[in-house]
Structure 1
Amino acid sequence: MIEIKDLNKSYHMGSNSLHVLKGIDFSVKEGEMVSIMGSSGSGKSTFLNILGMLDEADSGSYTLDGKPIKNLNEKVAAKYRNQFLGFIFQSFNLINYKSALDNVAMPLYYQGVKRAERMEKALHYLEKVGLAQWATHLPNELSGGQKQRVAIARALASDPKVLLADEPTGALDTQTSYEVMELIQNINDEGKTILLVTHEDDIAHMTKRIVNLKDGLIIDDSNVTQVRASVAKNKHLQSKQTSNV
């Protein structure tokens, strides 16, 4: 699904050059669920931007679902993003003056899908994330967890090949984080390929593979035993109940 070879990226600031990615080799098979970890300055944000076609590498190759991602103009890049990728952000990135239903339908609008079909599909994905009854509500009427579920529904609406989740639990409390991860795991169980950037070790272990970046290099890439979010959520609830006794 994703094949990256010898990826390099530098940023030039005056006479200085900062080499951010230093020959990354990375691949993801269809249906995998991979977390990318690394401290600030490790290169993970730059790496995610290149994966998301929001930035381009200086050298090396990036192939997504058999298509080389190279020298794309913004129109083609936007088309590919809409066709291949679904994005989930820490800050949700919902449009405040549009309902949950309209937010979910937005990617379909850019695909040229007619309104009636857009609304039908958007409602389907809101049902999938358990929020059909909130379809007419604005984002400021939703909790953080509900906003992230709307964002997940929006990411799924165009049926992308890959979901890119950038710190999807970063703005949520522990219980809500586990509920969101339970939903993301269920989506992966259905066969969707998911890449998730996180700095939280417990969240990373809810994926099936952890890639660690440091100073622009992959220093570790390991398959892990996946922790089911539903189990972690129940343990957290039991711990809270015990502490309240």
Structure 2
Amino acid sequence: MIEIKNLHKSYRTGTNALHVLKGIDFSVKEGELVAIMGSSGSGKSTLLNILGMLDEADEGSYTLDDVPIKNLNEKIAAKYRNKFLGFIFQSFNLINYKTALDNVALPLYYQGIGKKERTERAYAYLEKVGLAQWATHLPNELSGGQKQRVAIARALASEPKVLLADEPTGALDTKTSYEVMNLIQEINDEGKTILIVTHEEDIAQMTKRIVHLKDGVIIDDKPVKQVRALAHV
């Protein structure tokens, strides 16, 4: 599903160049649930941005679902993001003046899906995350956990190949974090490929594989015995 080879990325700061990713080799099979860990400055956010087509590598190759991701203009990048990827953010990134239903339906608008089908599909995904009765509520009427569930429903609504989750539990308390991880595990059990960037060891243990980044290189990549979140909820 994801194949990355010899990925390098540097950023210019004045006259200096900061070499952030230093020859990353990384692959993810369909249906995997992978945690990417590393301290601040390890390169995990840069890697996620490249995976999410929000940035491009200087060197190396990135293939997603057999499609080479290279030299994309913004229009093509946006089209591929909409087709292949669903994003879940630490800060939820919901639109405050839109209802939960409208937030979930928004990506479908950009896919050119008609209003009736958008509404039906958005409602179905809100139902999937247990929030159908909150469909007409605005984000400021929802708890942190509910907002993240809306964000997950929005990410799923466009039926992406891969979910990219950037610190999805970072803004939540422990109990709510485990509830969100239980939902993510259920989605993965249905076959969805999911990558989670996290600095929380207990959250990483709820995935099936942990990749450790340090100073722009992968120092460890191994499968783990998955801890089920439901046991802690």
Cα deviation code 1:39-64 (max 9, x no counterpart): 00000000000000000000000000
Partner of 2:5: 5
Question: What one-letter code is carried by the residue in structure 2 that aligns with 1:26?
Answer: F
Partner of 2:68: 68
Matched ranges for 1:35-184 at <5 A? 35-184=35-184
Question: What one-letter code is carried by the residue in structure 2 that aligns with 1:76?
Answer: I
Distance 1:111 1:231 in 2: 38
Question: What one-letter code is carried by the residue in structure 2 that aligns with 1:204?
Answer: A
Matched ranges for 1:225-240 at <5 A? 225-233=225-233
Matched position secondary structure for 2:126: helix
Q: Which runs of 5+ in 2 are unaligned?
A: none
Distance 1:150 1:12 in 2: 37
Partner of 1:239: none
Matched position secondary structure for 1:108: helix
Question: What one-letter code is carried by the residue in structure 1 that aligns with 2:147?
Answer: K
Give the TM-score normalised by the residue count of structure 1.
0.95
Question: What one-letter code is carried by the residue in structure 1 that aligns with 2:229?
Answer: A
Distance 1:18 1:172 in 2: 32
Matched position secondary structure for 2:102: helix
Distance 1:136 1:78 in 2: 28
Matched position secondary structure for 1:171: coil
Q: Report the Cα offset of residue 232 of structure 1.
A: 2.2
Q: Is residue 214 of structure 1 aligned with residue 214 of structure 2?
A: yes
State how many pairs are aligned.
Answer: 233
Distance 2:129 2:82 in 1: 21
Question: What one-letter code is carried by the residue in structure 1 that aligns with 2:125?
Answer: Y
Partner of 1:193: 193
Distance 1:156 1:58 in 2: 30
Question: What one-letter code is carried by the residue in structure 1 that aligns with 2:211?
Answer: V
Instruction: Name the % identity.
Output: 83
Q: Report the Cα offset of residue 144 of structure 1.
A: 0.2
Structure 1 runs of 4+ aligned residues shifted over 3 Å read: none
Distance 1:203 1:14 in 2: 37
Matched position secondary structure for 1:50: helix
Distance 1:215 1:168 in 2: 23
Matched ranges for 1:15-34 at <5 A? 15-34=15-34
Structure with max Cα Rg: 1
Distance 1:171 1:15 in 2: 36
Q: Is residue 202 of structure 1 aligned with residue 218 of structure 2?
A: no
Matched position secondary structure for 2:145: helix
Q: Report the Cα offset of residue 13 of structure 1.
A: 1.4
Q: Report the Cα offset of residue 14 of structure 1.
A: 1.7
